[in-house]
C-alpha cells in the first residue's frame, strides 16, 4: 500500500520565510529611498546610502535569525507531538498486557522490553472455565460474549494487582505470565497468590449471578515455572509479545487436569512457594498430550491469610 505524500505547510519553511521577509523589507526600503537625494548615481541606483548598508545587513540577519529560531521551535514541537503519539500507541499496546503503572514505566523507559527472543525463567498460569461448552450451548451468543467480558474483567483486575502479564485470551481460557517482560524476585508466589484471589473474586462474581438466576462459573487453574522463550511473535505487519516452550505446555495441561475450584502447580513451582502456601502432593498425574506423568501439587490457600501484592521489580 502506497503511503500518502505528506502535505507541505508554511510552517515547514520558516527560515525561507525569514529571508523572504528580509528581501521584501530591502526592496521596499530601496523603493522608498528613490525619493531621497543621494550624493552619487551608484547610491541612487542601489537605493541605499552606502553608509547605511551595514544597518540593512543587520536587519537581514535579524530576519534570518527569526526564521531559523521559529523553524527550530516548530520542529521541536513536531518532534514532541510525534513522541507523545508514539508513547500513546506504545502505552495502549502494553496496557493490554500489563497493569497501567507497569505500562507507564515501560513507555517512560524505566523498564525495558527487549525485541527478539530471550531465554529466561518465568511462571505461567492458565485459567479455564469448567463446563463452558455445555454452558454456552444453552444461552444466546450475545449473552456468552457478555459473560466472558464480565468474567475477564474480574480476572484481569486480580492479575494486574500482582503485576502479571496477560498473554492472551483463548475462548474461555486466559494465559498469564510472571517473569516476562517484567520480572520480580517472587514471581511464582505472585502467580499462586493471584490464583487464590481469582477463586475468591469468583465467589462474589457467582453470588451476583445466582441472585440474577444465572449459573455459577467454576474454573480450573494450572501453574508451572521453568525456562521458556519470550519475545515478539508474528509477521512484519502485526506482532505481539508472547512466550513459548514446554513450560507453557505443562501449565496448560495442568489447567486441563484441574477439577473445578482446584489450583494445580508443578513440582518446579511448588519448590519455590512451599513455605508460603498450604498444599497437598498428588504424586504423579497423567496429563493429556504429555508422554510421561508429571508431579503436581494442589494448593489450598496461603499460610499468611493477610498476604498482599508485593511491589518489588528486579528486572524488565
CATH at 198: 3.30.70.1230
In a domain, 5, yes or no: no
Distance between CA atoms of 117 and 223, rounded to whole angstroms? 22
In a domain, 105, yes or no: no
What is the number of other CB atoms lying within 10 angstroms of the CB of residue 309?
A: 14
Domain match, 84 and 152 both: no
Q: 89-103, 232-246, 298-312: which range is least confident on average?
A: 89-103
Supply 63's cell numbers: 530576519
Distance between CA atoms of 199 and 219, rounded to whole angstroms? 8
Residue 289 φ/ψ region, left for φ over 0, alpha for ψ in the -120 to 50 degree band, beta for the rest: left
Share of the chain above pLDDT 70, in %: 63
Contact yes or no for 148/156 (Cβ under 8 A): no
Domain match, 155 and 90 both: no
In a domain, 108, yes or no: no
Domain match, 74 and 135 both: no
In a domain, 103, yes or no: no
Domain match, 155 and 185 both: yes
Distance between CA atoms of 205 and 150, rounded to whole angstroms? 9
> 102-111 burial string, b = 16+ CB within 10 Å, else e?
bbbbbbeeeb
Distance between CA atoms of 149 and 145, rounded to whole angstroms? 6
In a domain, 271, yes or no: yes
> Would you say how long the chain is, in residues?
316
Domain match, 214 and 284 both: yes
Q: Is 150's pLDDT higher than 80?
A: yes
Contact yes or no for 131/115 (Cβ under 8 A): no
In a domain, 2, yes or no: no
Among 95, 129, 145, identify where a domain stops: 95
Distance between CA atoms of 183 and 181, rounded to whole angstroms? 7
Q: At what angle do helices 100-108 and 53-95 cross, to 10 degrees?
A: 140
Domain match, 60 and 169 both: no
Supply 213's cell numbers: 438466576
Q: Which of 118, 93, 124 is nearest to 106 (CA)?
A: 93
Domain match, 212 and 137 both: yes
Q: Is 1's pLDDT higher than 50?
A: no
Pairing between β-strand 262-266 and β-strand 219-234 as defined by DSSP bridges: parallel
Q: Which of 226, 224, 156, 229 is nearest to 191 (CA)?
A: 224
Q: 33-37, 68-72, 103-107, 311-315: which range is least confident on average?
A: 311-315
pTM (predicted TM-score): 0.67
Domain match, 54 and 136 both: no
Supply 100's cell numbers: 497501567
Domain match, 31 and 169 both: no
Among 63, 95, 127, identify where a domain stops: 95
- Number of DSSP helices (H) and strands (E) in the chain, helices first: 9, 10
Domain match, 119 and 91 both: no
In a domain, 106, yes or no: no
In a domain, 109, yes or no: no
Q: What is the pLDDT of residue 121?
A: 95
The beta-strand segments (E) located in the chain are 118-129, 165-170, 173-178, 183-184, 219-234, 239-244, 262-266, 277-285, 294-302, 313-315
Q: What is the pLDDT of residue 276?
A: 94
Domain that holds residue 268: 114-315
Share of the chain above pLDDT 90, in %: 43
Supply 234's cell numbers: 508474528
Which range of 3-7, 165-169, 238-242, 249-253 scores highest in mean pLDDT? It is 249-253
Q: What is the pLDDT of residue 30?
A: 61
Q: Which of 279, 245, 249 is nearest to 265 (CA)?
A: 279
Domain match, 139 and 35 both: no
Domain match, 15 and 80 both: yes
Q: 54-63, 138-147, 216-225: which range is least confident on average?
A: 54-63
Q: What is the pLDDT of residue 193?
A: 97
Pairing between β-strand 173-178 and β-strand 165-170 as defined by DSSP bridges: antiparallel
pLDDT per position as a tens digit, 104-135: 666 666 666 555 678 899 999 999 999 998 88
Number of domains in the chain: 2
Please, what is the average pLDDT of the chain?
79
pLDDT band at residue 4 under the 50/70/90 scheme: very low
Amino acid at each position: 500500500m502506497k503511503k500518502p505524500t505528506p502535505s507541505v505547510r508554511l510552517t515547514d519553511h520558516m527560515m525561507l520565510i525569514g529571508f523572504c521577509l528580509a528581501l521584501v523589507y530591502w526592496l521596499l526600503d530601496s523603493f522608498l529611498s528613490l525619493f531621497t537625494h543621494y550624493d552619487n548615481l551608484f547610491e541612487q541606483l542601489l537605493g541605499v546610502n552606502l553608509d547605511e548598508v551595514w544597518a540593512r545587513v543587520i536587519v537581514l540577519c535579524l530576519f534570518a535569525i527569526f526564521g531559523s529560531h521559529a523553524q527550530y521551535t516548530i520542529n521541536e514541537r513536531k518532534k514532541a507531538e510525534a513522541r507523545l503519539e508514539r508513547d500513546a500507541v506504545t502505552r495502549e499496546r502494553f496496557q493490554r498486557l500489563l497493569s497501567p503503572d507497569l505500562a507507564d514505566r515501560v513507555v517512560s523507559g524505566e523498564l525495558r522490553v527487549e525485541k527478539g527472543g530471550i531465554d529466561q525463567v518465568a511462571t505461567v498460569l492458565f485459567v479455564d472455565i469448567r463446563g463452558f461448552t455445555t454452558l454456552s450451548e444453552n444461552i444466546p451468543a450475545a449473552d456468552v460474549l457478555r459473560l466472558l467480558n464480565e468474567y475477564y474483567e474480574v480476572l484481569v483486575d486480580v492479575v494486574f494487582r500482582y503485576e502479571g502479564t496477560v498473554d492472551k485470551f483463548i475462548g474461555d481460557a486466559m494465559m498469564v505470565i510472571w517473569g516476562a517482560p517484567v520480572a520480580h524476585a517472587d514471581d511464582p508466589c505472585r502467580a499462586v497468590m493471584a490464583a487464590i484471589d481469582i477463586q475468591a473474586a469468583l465467589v462474589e462474581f457467582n453470588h451476583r449471578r445466582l441472585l440474577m438466576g444465572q449459573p455459577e462459573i467454576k474454573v480450573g487453574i494450572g501453574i508451572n515455572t521453568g525456562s521458556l522463550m519470550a519475545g515478539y511473535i508474528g509477521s512484519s505487519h502485526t506482532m505481539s509479545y508472547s512466550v513459548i516452550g514446554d513450560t507453557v505446555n505443562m501449565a496448560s495441561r495442568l489447567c486441563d487436569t484441574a477439577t473445578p475450584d482446584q489450583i494445580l502447580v508443578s513440582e518446579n513451582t511448588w519448590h519455590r512457594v512451599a513455605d508460603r502456601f498450604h498444599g497437598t502432593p498428588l504424586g504423579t498425574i497423567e496429563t493429556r498430550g504429555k508422554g510421561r506423568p508429571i508431579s503436581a501439587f494442589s494448593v489450598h490457600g496461603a499460610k499468611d491469610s493477610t498476604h498482599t501484592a508485593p511491589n518489588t521489580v528486579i528486572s524488565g
